[in-house]
């Protein structure tokens, strides 16, 4: 049994059918990349897993237990954390206040010392308000705020978008370290090189349909697939 199993997932925005019978499986302690062009259905998939979007049909199971249709807070309590593309940190609160707030309802929270060891820059900025952080620092805080809750699985939505290459490199290092520690990660990303550098397996979604399911090594060996579904 996989840690997270999705079968026959169909999700809509109003009358628009976005996801068509999507099937995914995420094993414990692995990093999986969900790739695709803009509008392919990547973010909708994560939002459906998190309960932000309620699937119209299909099943989502976490450790064999159904979670489809549950509200986001209930899914979060079961160990799933979403880091949205917009980050959604509290701009008027300090770095540490953002983290303290996330810890309040966590069953097994990370210590602040562990967070600051993972993100030394946040330790330096611990008293700074969210609005005073750079884009890269805000992304670090968004990921740290999810990690502080001690998640079973973390969903990263475009974590590298719009960031300077040096920040992307640092975040990739953090993701690699988390993976080495056994953290399960699903990363949605248009930066194919960055995503496949940290993932073992990949899915490609195109117009709401899963069109590739396999290892990153096999994907890299099939440039015609990336050209067809990921090329500009």
Q: How far is CA 227 from the centre of its chain?
A: 24
The pLDDT tens digits of the residues spanning 207-225 come to 999 999 999 999 999 999 9
Confidence tier at 126 by pLDDT (50, 70, 90): very high
C-alpha–C-alpha distance, residues 46 and 28, integer Å:
17
Helical (H) or strand (E) element with 19: strand 16-26
* pLDDT tops 90 at residue 119: yes
CA distances from 211 to 40, 61, 102, 156, 206 (A): 11, 22, 36, 21, 7
Mean pLDDT taken over the chain: 93
Mean pLDDT, residues 103-128: 93
The pLDDT tens digits of the residues spanning 146-199 come to 999 999 999 999 999 888 898 899 999 999 999 999 999 999 988 899 999 999
pLDDT at residue 1 in the model: 78
CA distances from 10 to 47, 50, 75, 83, 208 (A): 12, 14, 18, 22, 9
The full DSSP string for 48-91 is: HHHTSS--SEEEEEETTEE-TT--HHHHHHTTEEEE-TT----T
Locate tokens 């670090």: which residue?
Answer: 140
pLDDT at residue 86 in the model: 87
The pLDDT tens digits of the residues spanning 19-30 come to 999 999 999 999
Two tokens at 183? 């953290």
**Domain ranges in the chain?**
80-150
Mean pLDDT, residues 114-135: 95
- pTM, two decimals, is 0.93
pLDDT at residue 232 in the model: 58
């Amino acid at each position: 049994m996989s840690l997270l199993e999705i079968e026959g997932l169909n999700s809509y925005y109003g009358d628009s059918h976005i996801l068509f019978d999507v099937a995914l499986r995420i094993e414990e302690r692995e990093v999986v990349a969900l790739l695709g062009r803009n509008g392919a259905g990547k973010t909708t998939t994560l939002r459906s897993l998190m309960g932000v979007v309620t699937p119209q049909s299909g099943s989502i199971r976490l450790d064999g237990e159904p979670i489809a249709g549950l509200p986001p807070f209930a899914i979060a309590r079961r160990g799933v954390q979403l880091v949205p593309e917009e980050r959604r940190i509290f701009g008027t609160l300090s770095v540490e206040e953002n983290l303290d707030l996330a810890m309040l309802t966590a069953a097994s929270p990370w210590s602040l010392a562990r967070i600051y060891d993972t993100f030394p820059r946040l330790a330096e900025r611990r008293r700074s308000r969210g609005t005073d952080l750079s884009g890269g620092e805000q992304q670090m805080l968004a990921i740290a705020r999810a990690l502080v809750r001690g998640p079973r699985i973390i969903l990263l939505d475009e974590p590298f978008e719009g960031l300077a290459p040096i920040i992307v490199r640092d975040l990739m290092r953090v993701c690699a370290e988390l993976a080495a520690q056994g953290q399960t990660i699903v990363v949605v990303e248009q930066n194919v090189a960055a995503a496949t550098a940290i993932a073992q397996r990949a899915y490609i979604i195109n117009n709401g349909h899963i069109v590739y399911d396999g290892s990153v090594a096999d994907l890299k060996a099939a440039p015609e697939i990336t050209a067809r579904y990921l090329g500009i």
